[in-house]
A and B are shown apart, each in its own frame.
Chain A
Amino acid sequence: MKKILALLLTLALLLGMTGTVAVADDDWITLRVETYDREITGLDVTDCWQLHYAQEHFGDPNHIKLEFVSYARWTEGDLLTNALAGGTAPDICVTYNGSLVQQCIDDEGIWQLDDLIAEYGPNLRAFLGDELLGYGQSDHDGDGTKEQWFIPARRISVANVGNFIREDWLKALNMEKPTNVEEFTAYLRAAKEAKLAGENTMPFSFGIYVPDPLYNVRRFTDAWVDFSQVTEEDWFAYARNPEMLPGAKEGFRWLNTLYHEGLLPDTFALSDNDKANDTALIMGYNGFFSQQPDQPWRTDKNYQIELEKNVPEGHWVTVNPFKNESLGGKTLHDIYAANGLSIIIPLTTDEKTAVAAMKYLDWMAVPENMFAMQNGIEGINYEGISPELGIPYGVKSADAVPNENKMHAGDICFISNGLYYGSDEKNSAALALPFAGYEEDVVASYVDALTDAWTQISFTVAIQAETDYGSTIKSKQGEFLAAVVSCDPAEFDAVYDAGVQDILNSGAQQMIDEFREAYKEGNYRGVFPGNL
């Protein structure tokens, strides 16, 4: 009996190892398209309405069988890297991981797209425009002309900074909305003093964003930067090192002061702190936070509605206190570059399928197709089209739509990051649409986010030092931030200087030199605030 069992077990295991072999039958080809999976309840991205729509209107007429390959949104970079290395990547790959795309270009593992776009992508070219397409071009072979390596998605809203303050707290303190750092600091102190949320009052919601610790902190510290001492060249050279800009030190000292006055949480440096911070925001303990411009109303983290459940009069409104005196009182806000995610076609895809891939992207760029792919069906996904604005109204939230009609605009119609309606006015009017009841707050927030806006820096050549040391520098910056914010004020200067030196020694100096070189050669994008 045991012997038979052993044999059966062995056979079962062996059978489990053999796979099935797929057979292709006729002139149809299969086009595999990467699709992000955000685990939205009821939405199966490999069998969703948008897939069926695209199959019917694009696939069937062209004898192309579309297949959506699901990649978890937050690990897409790792998943895609493995798939590319293993030769199993989808025919159309999308990623936000810029260093992976650069690696693909360096390793020559993806299609050069110039000819494909020229022949099969007229609508795509029209939608993106030549300037945006330029983001995907670089001179890899060194012959002096740039080749198209990836297709950058078009980012509809470039706003990035959202600073929010509690309007109800201002009223309770009988204060005006702060317009500079002094007034803002006074507000934080008064809120703490008055214990507006009891013992839990923590005026400034603050944590370390581990993947890039200074990314969200420079929006504060840039207010202290002395632009009379910063040339455009310096600005680009210190692209990833805002802590080293002249004057920024005082910004960090300000954070240090807040820490020691108990105005920001002493747990700010602990990992896994996001949840605690979210809870504090929702419970109404905080008087200020800084994230994305639409953050209080987002469906995934709805700080406003959740706050109202705990504090009925609680109200987040945009605030703009980070005034830079050396720029005549400008309140700097960084904004995204015009490109969104990157679309690549790996070389493991044969030519026929690569052509099909380009045709699919081109089909997606045709206005009526894009409208359908982004908005779904009238009466199901939205109520109707507003006659004066020309955009949909009554947009349903995901849980109000039947499963077979659930969709995700950005992840599936990925050539456009954000809803596109044909003109800037329509697009910005559409930004507030999903947030019924808070339209004015949303619009005000976007207006602030685009005030004195400078486009984030990127480089059009591969920066070797950034590949080698980039992640180390970010990790060091986290350590630096934790140290300068929490150190004894008497030791602040020493800690700051030692931290900067440590970062420089860890590879930042090489990065700064290479960035400077790239700037001098004109291989950069972005805006110098001194030119605003």
Chain B
Amino acid sequence: MQFDKQAPSLRKTNRMAGLARDWRLYLMLALPIFWYLLFCYKPMVGLIIAFQKYNLFKGMWGSKWVGLENFRFTMQMSDFSYALVNTLWLNLLGLVCGFPVPIILAIMLNEMRSVGTKKVFQTLLYLPHFLSWIIIGGMVLQIFSPTSGIINATLLRWGWIDKSIPFLTDGPHWQATYTLVGVWQGMGWGTILYLSAITGINMELFEAAKIDGANKMQQIWHVTLPGIRSTIVVLLILNIGQMMNISFDRPQILGNAQVRKFCDVLSTFVYRTGIENHKFERATAIGLFQSLVGLILISGANFITKRLGEEGIW
């Protein structure tokens, strides 16, 4: 497509002309917008059941209004507080341990000379992202089980340890296992955005740095990292906005009764007290609460970033 270079007074007519010319493309764009309206905005109306005693058959327009009762009930439940703490703690661990890894990996991949080796490593790194947590859960059990897991069995046989390491059966150990498995699963996929950001860096900068005598590490530090800084910042803000959200399958599958106090998070709590009991209004109340906190976090992170002179996400 060409850029029209006409006087500002004519812009409006040009827009109409553009619409007339490209209406098929706009129509195509309308579909994802429609999708968003239908699946992301329309369901928001359903949030009102968080303030109702939801009747399965009368639906959200016919159910009784109860104000903040659902919030009060779920938040006073003994499990709620540590589900909340665990959610924040596990996400924080994931962020601290998991956020830098894709950046480092992307830089390392970028520095690889042989295209073939790079492709092989990339594929191997992406692979875990495509495994469902059910499968990973099975693998984790095989590897980390007490006594019979590969690691414990091997270490026990070699006599390096005389008691198996409770990777899955002791709270803090479990949280470490959970975090590391998550980092392993997500790190390859996370490199994609950084790799494309690195591709966007002007090659002349590297050449100039080389001429100035910068070695590899100095090039990375002074050219690559500043070049992808805005990507890093945006992803960090988005990640902070997700601090209150935690997937259901990962803690549910990796968790077990022995470490319940350490693995119970908001999503599993909501499933147990809201979905299993058919108390959808309570599940909705917690969901709304999570979203509100998420909104505050993301706005805060964005505000601070802008204050620090970076570009935010809006």
Contacts and interface: CB of A to CB of B under 8 A. Distances in A.
Interface of A: 3-4, 6-7, 9-10, 13, 78, 81, 84-85, 99-100, 103-104, 107-109, 208, 210, 213, 266-267, 269-273, 276, 347, 467-472, 475-476, 478-479, 481-483, 486, 502, 505-507
Q: Determine the interface band of chain B, counting residues with CB < 8 A from chain A.
A: 35 or more
Contacts of A273: 141
A486 B148 CA distance: 16
B112 to A, nearest CB: 36
Given A213-B257, A482-B258, A9 B28 contact: yes
A165 B138 CA distance: 29
B77 A84 contact: no
A471 B257 contact: no
Contact of B57 (A4, A10, A84, A472): A84
A208 B25 CA distance: 56
Contacts of A103: 56, 278
Interface string B276-303: 1111000000000000000000000000
A467 B277 contact: yes
Contact of A471 (B164, B260, B264, B273): B273
A276 B145 CA distance: 11
Contacts of B277: 99, 467-468, 470-471
A3 B25 contact: yes
A48 B59 CA distance: 35
Contacts of B311: none
Interface in B249-270: 253, 255-258, 260-261, 264
A478 B260 contact: yes
A271 B57 contact: no
A471 B272 contact: yes
A81 B24 contact: no
A99 B272 CA distance: 13
A483 B258 contact: yes
Contacts of A270: 141, 145, 168-169, 256, 258
A457 B11 CA distance: 78
Across chains A and B, which 6 residue pairs bring their CB atoms closest together, nearest first? A109-B57, A478-B257, A482-B258, A482-B257, A479-B260, A269-B258
Nearest to A483: B258
Contact of B24 (A3, A467, A478): A3
Contact of A472 (B146, B258, B273): B273
A269 B169 contact: yes
Nearest to A103: B278
Nearest to B74: A468
A471 B79 CA distance: 12
A208 B56 contact: no
A506 B79 contact: yes
A203 to B, nearest CB: 15
B28 A208 contact: no
Contacts of A208: 257
A184 B265 CA distance: 40
Contacts of B78: 472, 502, 505-507
Contacts of A481: 257
A277 to B, nearest CB: 12
A6 B25 CA distance: 7
B258 to A, nearest CB: 4
Contact of B56 (A84, A267, A269, A478): A84
Contacts of A9: 28
Nearest to A208: B257
16 contacts: A6-B24, A6-B28, A10-B31, A107-B55, A107-B56, A109-B56, A269-B258, A270-B168, A270-B258, A272-B137, A272-B138, A272-B141, A481-B257, A483-B258, A486-B258, A506-B77
